[in-house]
Amino acid sequence: MSVIAVRTQNKKMRAHCRGAWGDIAAAARANRAFFGIVLLFLGGMLIGSIYSRNAEFRTLSKLDFLFACNFKARLSQPLSIAFSASFASAFIFVLACFLCGLSMWGTFFIPVIVVFRGFGLGLTSGYLYATYGGKGILYNLAMIMPGAFLDCIAIVMAALEGMRYSRIIAARRAPSEKSFPMKTYLMRFGMILALAFASAALDTAATALFGGCFSF
């Protein structure tokens, strides 16, 4: 009797696991675009972290206008400049997704933007770890990641909206169509910019709170 009970229990467990994996697969299929963008971003981070092994600090300085990755300057510059640099970095990528969304080719270019943004974050994080070890990890967690988390959400949202609108244009449907009018497109990107603004504010707050704890 005990053997039969164990077999029955095992069958129930296997059925439960199959059901759970089936739910996950269904969710992935229903949100293919979202998971695809996230995977592209993570892939960009991986490429950036690998590239950082041979990168020099001047490389980060040259890319600072795109990624706000000059961590040494962040410790010495006024908070207003730190906020402006952080918001400008997020704004550039959100604007790029917005403009690509207005083109039928945007679906092909937006993934490149996402990978490039992930590359920047991976480059900075990898350089900090490779050069400063544990101190670099702490700096990354305290100073960069809080704002970067919101920034990445904003970029992913901008990419999804841009690709959705680009597909509408590619399907030769008018942008003013009721299903997705231009007004809706502008409003959604307005909310995305608000999130980017919040990420810059959080980035600046982290600099104000923990900037004095680090020196490089």
pLDDT at 9: 54
Q: pLDDT tens digit string along 44-60?
A: 999 988 888 777 767 66
- Its pTM stands at 0.78
SS3 string of the chain? CHHHHHHHHHHHHHHHHHHHHHHHHHHHHHCHHHHHHHHHHHHHHHHHHHHHHHCCHHHHHHCHHHHCCCHHHHHHCCHHHHHHHHHHHHHHHHHHHHHHHCCCCHHHHHHHHHHHHHHHHHHHHHHHHHHHCHHHHHHHHHHHHHHHHHHHHHHHHHHHHHHHHHHHHHCCCCCCCCCCCHHHHHHHHHHHHHHHHHHHHHHHHHHHHHHHHCCC
> Could you tell me which residue, 64 or 133, shows the higher pLDDT?
133
pLDDT band (50, 70, 90) for residue 1: very low
The predicted-structure confidence for 152-180, as pLDDT tens digits, reads as follows 999 999 999 999 999 888 886 555 555 56
For the chain, the structural domain boundaries read: 1-30, 36-213
Is the pLDDT at 10 greater than 60? The verdict is: no
Separation between Cα atoms, residue 67 and residue 116, nearest integer Å: 10
Tens-digit pLDDT profile for residues 30-48 = 578 888 999 999 999 999 8
Summarised one tens digit per residue, pLDDT across range 76-98 is 778 888 888 889 889 999 999 99
